[in-house]
Amino acid sequence: MAKSTVFDKMQTLFGVSATELRAVLILLAGVCIGMTVKIVRGETSPELYSLRAADNLYGALDSLATAERTTFVGVDTAGNALSELAKGDTVVRGESPFPVAKKKELPISSINLNIATKAELMKLPGVGEATAEKIIEFRKNRRFRAPEDIMNIKGIGQKKFEKMSPYLDTRQ
């Protein structure tokens, strides 16, 4: 069978152009030559790969141990800070790459539902931007006479009301 006939059959079988088929055959030839060279040099032994992997693992662990090494001079065994020894402490706390969400700051004083701004309402526990807007819309039609009136707003039930009730006020 002629070389061009095999080439034409492969081209028809895989549905590719002659240029694409040549490129794939060149890549396959390169992989075969590379594997042959590795086998001849003896670089394919499993022991060699496991030794390299172990060296990489030990190197990573050593780096981690060096980075995490601290003396904790400024704390006692319970973890309480000792101000007189804190200067010698080598612990340096960096910022976490995974920041923790900050807790919402609760209001210092009570919030009057009839005159509070959107930002003030958002300080209430369980109240976000959408709920604050609902409260403002509600009070355009009628005033809050008692803190319990806030439960007339969709999304505020008994549990949410109990959390926010210490901060609610409806006085004029």
Q: Is the dihedral of CA 62, 66, 67, 68 positive or negative?
A: positive
Do the domain assignments include residue 159?
yes
What's the mean per-residue pLDDT of the chain? 77
Question: Residue 149, class by beta-carbon neighbours within 10 Å (0-12 exposed, 13-18 middle, 19+ buried)?
Answer: middle
Do the domain assignments include residue 104?
no
Tell me which of 13, 34, 67 is where a domain ends: 67
Q: 48: which residues sit within 8 A by CB, 6+ positions away?
A: 42
Through-space distance between the first and last CA atoms of the chain, rounded to whole angstroms: 101
Do the domain assignments include residue 126?
yes
Compare 75 and 28 and report the one with higher pLDDT: 28
Compare 28 and 69 and report the one with higher pLDDT: 28
Range of the domain at 124: 111-169
Domain CATH for 147: 1.10.150.320
Residues 63 and 115 in one domain: no
Which residue's entry shows tokens 């590719």? 16
pLDDT digits (tens, 9 = 90+) for 123-148: 898 888 999 999 999 989 888 898 89
